[in-house]
Chain A
Amino acid sequence: MSNTSSDQKLVIAGTAYTSRLLVGTGKYKDNDETRLALEASGAEIITIAIRRTNIGQNPDEPNLLDALPLDKYTLLPNTAGCYTVEDAVRTCKLARELLGGHKLVKLEVLGDEKTLFPDAIETLKAAQILVDDGFDVMV
């Protein structure tokens, strides 16, 4: 039998994790609630999204990255909402720039607006481009 004990580490892209839980950071009321929920979850990997900054509306709005203790978490930028290879690759590259060279991303190229099913062929194309560019890609 394989070892399935809870002390077995999860290794992703060379980093070992105690928790196997990946938690999103959307849907919370505010950054405080996000922080508390993440603490309670015990997760070590948290997903984030990349979006246009609101210009001129509320420049002092707390930024998610400023509100979380980033040394505690591996951030996992994701391409939710991307329907083309180009858009997904662009989002990952922006995330890498934003996060100072960060390489781990969660990739999907969506294929259907109603079901949100990914397009496997396009996702594979994007993955190849990203891997060739040095990214660690989770699909």
Chain B
Amino acid sequence: MISLTLNGEDIQLEDNTNIEQLLQNLSLKNKRLAVEINQQIVSRSDFNTHVLQDQDKVEIVQAIGGGSID
């Protein structure tokens, strides 16, 4: 198992989990979102090859309504 931070929460994953598998586990596969690992954006085309590492900091973001301070 590996331990990492996902959107500020500590989680554990099986070894050799890639981003696509993580998104599938979260029921977020094929959603419009962007993923950042350790402050580096990962292209969608690399989701199925980028393997998550122990202590990674993962951020998953999406577009929401906005335009000023909420």
- By a beta-carbon cutoff of 8 Å, the part of chain A in contact with chain B is 22-28, 34, 46-53, 55-56, 59-60, 63-66, 75-78, 80-81, 90, 93-95, 97-99, 116
The chain B residues found within 8 Å of chain A, CB to CB, are 6-9, 26-28, 31-34, 36, 39, 41, 43-44, 59-70
Q: Which of A26, A56, A97 contacts B34 (CB 8 A)?
A: A97
Please state if A55 and B68 are interface contacts (CB–CB under 8 Å).
no
A22 to B66, CA, bound (A): 12
* Complex Cα–Cα for A26 and B60 (A): 20
Number of residue pairs A-B, CB distance < 8 angstroms: 111
| Docked pose: A28 CA to B60 CA in angstroms | 23
Bound complex: CA of A116 vs CA of B69, how far in Å?
8
Taken together as a complex, chains A and B put the C-alpha atoms of A53 and B63 apart, in Å, by: 9
Residues of A within 8 A of B65 (CB): 24-28, 34, 48-49, 64
Please indicate the chain B residues that have their CB under 8 angstroms from the CB of A94 in the complex: 34, 36, 41, 61
- Which residue of the partner chain, among B28, B44, B70, contacts A53 with CB atoms under 8 Å? B28
